Amino acid sequence: MISPDAGGMKRAELLREALEAALGRPIGKGLAEKHRSGGVVSGDLFAGDVAGMTALIVDDLISTGGTLLRTARSARAAGATRVLAMVTHGLFMQGSAELIADPALDQIVVTDTVPPFRLDRPAQNKKLVMLPAAPLLAEAIQRLHDERSLTDLLVF
């Protein structure tokens, strides 16, 4: 489980812990360095042992995809055999087509909270998997209405 920046480490760690509990085996973790200064993103450090493994990058959103692509390329360079990105919101701004086309990423899983209208034929793209968010949101609203807990919605 890889966070593409230090700000997402807690999110990646929570998902890693849940996946580890669900599978009953250890799941490693990783981090890619990211610095933003004057609108320029940089950072080359990658920490984590992904050699011979599937790397799962977890992030909150895709804008142009530059951060995900840098992280995917770093994971590949470190020996990952497959690299998947799991993202909550796919904005897919101008330039994100490069992310989808790049062989460093095998698959991008994103919710449908933002329609991918900026992408050319997203339904035909086998690399892009869109998951519906409506059932989860509907269940959360129903539980709030019934004054029930939301806690178990946050785990596998």
Compute how many other C-beta atoms are within 10 angstroms of the C-beta atom of residue 57: 27
Q: Which contacts (CB < 8 Å, 24+ apart) does range 112-117 have?
A: 113/88, 113/89, 114/89, 114/90, 116/90, 116/92
Residues with Cβ within 8 Å of 12's Cβ and at least 6 positions away in sequence, in order, are 1, 2, 3, 29, 58
12 half-sphere exposure, CB direction, 13 A CA radius? 23
Q: Phi then psi for 74, rounded to 5 degrees?
A: -65, -40
34 catalytically annotated: yes
**CA torsion sign, 90 to 15 to 77 to 39?**
positive
Per the listing, tokens 């320029």 go with 40
Per annotation, catalytic residue among 10, 29, 34, 126 = 34
Q: Looking at the annotation, which residues are catalytic? A: 34
